[in-house]
């Protein structure tokens, strides 16, 4: 049980506009509007009905998107129709999936977990910056990562092979996952460096009992469970899996180090990797990403 309660810790969010890839638990704090994305419209409508049953005044809008298609991501962005954005939460993701390519030809996990969110950051950035100029603004970008980032290749991101399936052997699914999550950490770090008026963090949710783990292959699940056992990590319940994200999105930001990685809940991560320690890599990834997304 995590010693943090969003019902008690989060402030009233009246007037705030939020865009989330994936699910959320912010409606009960009365933001002006929440946009959330996903692929399953039926499940989304069920979720909206449950939210409205608890918070009848909640203004929640679903936007259908395929995160494996940059065109779909841009179309989702174009459905946003307000003139401010206070909180962008890059939450959607996949883990240790079989080798595949996105519709744009990128390694699947890198494309979904990193590049699709990098495009949303790029598209929303002008609006985020304008919102940051408003009185009492508190603009935040929260990027979901994982301590599994340490399984990335030594150079962090294999730029030369990023448009292949990178199917290099038994451990390749986790290497590809680690690569995508390293990229997420680097995105938050460089975003904070270039735009300090926005609070940008990457967050590890903990090892959560959700479909992200239960839907893995037997071998992949074994990696998760054995890894937790060896490191003394206790898996957390699904309803607690969003706590760190909620803290980063709307909790007290006193002491937050802009651009850093946080573990549940609000704990500055002391984990390391060669790629994460490379001071040039965040800028290199940013420049590569700008070129990759130039047509958007």
For strands 267-268 and 261-263, give the pairing: antiparallel
Q: Of the candidates 96, 79, 95, which has an alpha carbon nearest to the alpha carbon of residue 33? A: 79
Question: Which residues have C-beta within 8 Å of that of residue 192, sequence separation ≥ 6?
Answer: 198, 199, 200, 258, 259
10 Å Cβ neighbour count for 158?
18
* C-alpha angle 177-182-185 in degrees, rounded to nearest 5: 130
Strands annotated E in 28-129: 33-38, 60-64, 87-90
Nearest Cα to Cα of residue 216 among 180, 251, 173, 256: 173
**Whether 149 is catalytic:** no
Among 114, 149, 177, 262, the active-site one is 177
Active site residues: 177
């Amino acid at each position: 049980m995590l010693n943090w309660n969003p019902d008690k810790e989060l402030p009233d969010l009246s007037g705030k506009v939020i865009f989330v890839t994936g699910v959320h638990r912010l409606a009960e704090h009365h933001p002006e509007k929440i946009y959330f994305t996903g692929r399953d419209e039926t499940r989304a409508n069920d979720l909206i009905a449950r939210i409205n049953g608890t918070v009848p005044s909640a203004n929640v809008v679903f936007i259908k998107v395929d995160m494996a298609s940059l065109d779909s991501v841009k179309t989702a962005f174009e459905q946003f129709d307000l003139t401010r954005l206070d909180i962008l939460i890059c939450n959607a993701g996949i883990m240790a999936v079989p080798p595949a390519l996105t519709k744009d030809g990128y390694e699947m996990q890198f494309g979904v977990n990193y590049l699709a969110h990098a495009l949303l950051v790029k598209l929303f950035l002008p609006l985020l910056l304008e919102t940051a100029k408003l009185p009492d603004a508190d603009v935040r970008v929260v990027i979901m990562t994982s301590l599994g980032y340490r399984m990335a290749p030594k150079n962090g991101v294999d730029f030369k092979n990023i448009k292949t399936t990178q199917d290099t052997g038994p451990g390749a699914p986790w290497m590809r996952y680690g690569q995508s999550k390293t990229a997420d950490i680097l995105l938050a770090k460089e975003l904070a460096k270039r735009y300090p008026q926005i609070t940008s963090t990457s967050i590890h949710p903990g090892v959560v009992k959700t479909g992200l783990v239960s839907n893995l292959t037997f071998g992949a699940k074994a990696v998760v469970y054995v890894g937790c056992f060896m490191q003394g990590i206790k898996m957390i319940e699904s309803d607690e899996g969003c706590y760190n994200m909620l803290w980063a999105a709307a909790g007290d930001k006193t002491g937050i180090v802009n651009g850093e990685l946080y573990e549940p809940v609000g704990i500055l991560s002391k984990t390391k990797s060669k790629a994460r320690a490379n001071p040039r890599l965040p800028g290199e990834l940013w420049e590569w990403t700008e070129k990759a997304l130039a047509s958007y």
